[in-house]
Amino acid sequence: MSAGQTFNVLPAERSERQEAKILETLAFVEANGALSIAALVTAQASQLPQGSSVILVTPTVRADIIHAVDDLQMRFLRPVVVLLETESFGGPRGSETIINSLRERRVPVTVIKCDDNLSQALSEIPTTFKQKDMRPWQTPEFSQ
């Protein structure tokens, strides 16, 4: 699902063709939609089976991403965040705060900077978290 200049939903499939569809959609999506990532998750998360992984790709430095992750965890879904570091693309600062909040929630996160090797960066997404370690009903402790 994406909500940039247009709203897109690609039905789940298992094939190389599906991967091509996803990559094509991502190549053309622009982050200028009126729907926040939290609103998109709220509107669409009920369509996903419990236990599913949800990959959120976003450049946001707003708290919306944290609200989206909390919503997903409360629905027993497993969020993974691919965060585009806006500062490296000439945008506003603030990625570090979001990254710390996501890590406090035990959410796998990878940061993509301008000119990063995308294949390498995505292959480094942490996969060591366990569903049993995620307790969405607990408030995460904030680091000092």
Q: Is the residue at 123 inside a domain? A: yes
CATH number, domain at 114? 3.40.50
- Quick one: which H or E segment has residue 65? helix 64-74
Residue 142 lies in a domain: no
Q: What is the pTM of this model?
A: 0.78
Residue 20 included in any domain: no
The domain containing residue 60 runs over which residues? 34-133
Q: Which residue is it, tokens 């497993």? A: 78
Domain contains 119: yes
Residue 2's contacts (CB-CB under 8 Å, 6 or more residues apart) are 8, 25, 26, 29
Q: Is residue 64 a contact partner of residue 38, using CB atoms and an 8 Å limit?
A: yes
Summarised one tens digit per residue, pLDDT across range 15-43 is 788 888 888 888 888 777 788 889 999 98
pLDDT of residue 138: 44
What pLDDT is attached to residue 134?
47
Asked whether residue 72 is domain-assigned, the answer is: yes
Spatial separation of the C-alpha atoms in residues 87 and 115, rounded to whole Å: 12
Which tens digit of pLDDT belongs to each residue from 40-82?
Answer: 999 899 988 899 889 998 888 888 999 999 999 999 999 999 9
Residue 80, strand partner residues:
55
Q: Is residue 74 part of a domain?
A: yes
Q: How many domains does the chain have?
A: 1
CA distance readout (Å), 119 to 2, 98, 122: 21, 23, 5
